[in-house]
Structure 1
Amino acid sequence: MIDPLSIPVTADDFRRLAAQKLPRFLFDYIDGGANAEQTLKENVQDFTRLHLSQRVLRDVSKVNTRSTLLGQEVDMPLALAPVGMAGMMRRRGEVQAVRAAAAAGVPFTLSTVGVCPVEEVKAASQQPFWFQLYMLRDRQAVVSILERARRAGCDTLLFTVDLAVPGLRHRDARNALESQSLKGKLSRAYQLGTRPGWLFDVGVKGKPHTLGNLSELLNGSEDFTDYKIFASSQFDASVTWDDIQWLRDHWKGKLVIKGILEVDDAKRCQALGAEGIVVSNHGGRQLDGAASSISKLPAIAEAVGSDLEVLLDGGVRNGVDLVKAVALGARGVLIGRPWIWAIAGGGEAGLRAYLDSFQKEVEATLALIGIDSISALQRDHVQ
């Protein structure tokens, strides 16, 4: 339990608040990873094994955290990663998140399986945002989704490629998320009953609970279990590198391939004309036993960093982690669980506070390693 009088500051603070506010099956859905959750743990732990070089007596009176990500000026090189069904964690969660991201001067990425449709997110913010795509078996539906994103002003597409099949997430199985059995329904109903605040904020005031960008394919269903079943049936396991060209034919904006862990795959993205890649293992939610994202970053950045914009996703919890990642070759980082914990635990105000604290950590870290800007970070700042 978190002290009700204390002020949440860190990702862990907001994680504890989210656990208190969400029904367990929803908390486990965003918090959990695949199988034994080894990769999930190592994503975070491998950052702690990296040490920064402390340098003193340098002029750091004017530290600047500003940078660019995919041609967009940002107040710090960070973006909110796509998180599916964010609107189930807080009332219209994607809308609250895009407003908080705009206030912090960083991009927000809307998931294909977000609750709020792209048009609603566009109406909530004057700043451009990114869109994330899962390839569906119904390619005409994909074309329609891309056109809606384009009309909403999205010029950057994150194409997730590490979900040929859904990872085995045992927490979801324990919560019977794909079960329509009486036992599963009773278990979820009981959990909902233990969270009256969620029932009022999301259950009543947060409707509709559809996947806004896919509502036609789901026939307007608002059942969380239907979402899980849809994901298992519609995500296309037959997608190959040849489909990148098909996607290029239907998307004329910037293309970022998300889910790259090997140098040869990164080089292939480069050859196919992508503007960027995200070094990512899907937050440890797919292949358990895969290496942590940060451990794979240096080799990939060295191989393609001069030709591709290399971003990193997985395990980033604070501004210190961001500095380490950029020093090792990333242009910037994406955060997923931290922002959804903050939204679930504290709403838009909570996420704004978390991002404000995050930027202050970046500023302080840069100053204490003796440099005054993100652009001055180099490999030898990390041991």
Structure 2
Amino acid sequence: MKKSINIDYWYENTLFDKVELWMMLPKEGMNQSVKPKQVHRVPTEESLGYFILHKNDKIHLNFDVDWYNPKSYEVYLNNEEEKYYLRNTILSPINAEITALAMEITKGKNTKKDQARDIFEYIVNNFKYKYPPRSRGALSFLKAKEGDCGEFSFLFSSLCRSIGIPTRTIFGGWSNGKMNGHAWNEIFLEDIGWFSVDTSMANIQKNNRFSFLISNIRTMHWKKYFGQTEGQRIIFSKDAEIKLSPSYINCVEKSIIIKPLYINNTPFYWGQESLNGCAPYLQPAYVKFDGIFDPSSATIKTFNLIGNWKTKENGIRGILSSIKAMLIMPSLIVMVISLFWDILLLELIYKLGLISGFLCFILRKERTVVFSILLFLMILSILSTISQLSACSL
């Protein structure tokens, strides 16, 4: 049986004599153009592939996966695994300030689930979504009070881990589109297993409910993001700061063309250094450039740093998504044109297109209440147009 989502990933070394690349490999069903030089099992129970790409070499991976479903994961952690998901890291540190804040937020709550819920609501209510952030990491997010999905997730991991709740930051993306990355969390609860928590989507849905109005992403009431997702996600890696193997040796000289990103307000050069031998995150890949880049020959683009990927839903959902994409924008353009030319046939065309597009939203279960209302109103409108056309033909 064909799986729900197709993932197509490629990375081409167009600039350097050599690029080393690390990424998590799918469990099965992968078509690939280049074999990894090494595969290493990591504590998250994933397989970390290591590739070497010389100038003009290209990796191309194509595979199908099912939608993200944390309930299918294990429901037991041994002592070593529990220790790993309680560890202190650079992006999600555990210190006196973090621990005191977590204890204050969860005061009076005795179960890990209730404590995690209080932390979830605290972050949703007290921070602002902003992309891109000035600096990455929980500490800078705590001070700036604004950041993107990564920062929301890093802080949630810090606070939960500081009071003994095993937590990981998940890096993945959405099931339709190009380069559409996202980060969220999972906490481990006894007798339940891994439990999904998405503070950034909850924050967006609470403060800007219609930001995903015409997207291919389902949305929910913000409180449901504690324990649920909309079911349209893929996973690239199951935590941040995963140790790279073979060891990542930082570049002595930093290329001046690569602008640093900031982690906890300290400059960090992506592709030229690691966080104590770890990739900050694998979404889906981390690289190391060999040599100093010549800025006169080309410029560094995002795909030089992480590669390219696109995702597509298979089956009827993918078909509905394609139909929706073909109908909505052209119909809106025809609608605007009809405002300047009073032609009933144009009205009929765009209204039919919008009715079909709204129906696709409903069948895909995306904002069903909103699009059901719009569908009803558009049906009434097209009936009026048909009535006018009939009158004109008599």
Normalized against structure 2, the TM-score is what?
0.24
Bigger strand fraction: 2
Task: Give 1 or 2 for the bigger CA radius of gyration.
Answer: 2
